[in-house]
Amino acid sequence: MAEILLDSDVIIAWLRGHNPFGELIPELLEKGHLFTWTPVSVAEIFAGVRKDEEDRVDNLFLVLSPALISTEVGRKAGGYLKSYARSHGVELGDALVAATAFFNKTPLWTLNRRHYPMRDIRFFSP
């Protein structure tokens, strides 16, 4: 089974029960897929969590595995910023997520591919 790095937008859609995420993610978990998230997504999720979502967000720690951000990931993210910040509007959070996907050789599942113009990362498409 595959390891998949979830971007914040996918996690939010799943938390809010938007289809196909509300059905597809539990189905993929049952098949043995491993979902990971970065500290960037953790910060973004907790920054915008609604009162009625707090219990579900706390339960994410039981389901999602952390993908750690290392010095190498930071350097790669810096390279992405140098290459894409001006031309494509890539911001630090997206650069760190992309670099994490690159170093972990993990496909990234995102709803905003335009945030990730990098040619050396893979994307997950259900």
Three-class DSSP labels, 55-105? HHHHHHHHHCEECCCCHHHHHHHHHHHHHHHHHHCCCHHHHHHHHHHHHHC
Q: For the domain bounded by 3-115, which CATH number is listed?
A: 3.40.50.1010
- pLDDT band of residue 126 (cuts 50, 70, 90) is confident
How high is the pLDDT of residue 13?
Answer: 93
SS3 23: helix
How high is the pLDDT of residue 50?
Answer: 87
SS3 125: coil
How high is the pLDDT of residue 59?
Answer: 87
How high is the pLDDT of residue 40?
Answer: 95
* Overall average pLDDT of the 93-122 stretch: 97
pLDDT in tens, 42-100: 999 999 888 888 888 888 888 899 998 999 999 999 999 999 999 999 999 999 999 99
Domains of the chain by residue range: 3-115
* Overall average pLDDT of the 18-26 stretch: 89
Give the whole-angstrom CA distance, residue 112 versus residue 88.
Answer: 13
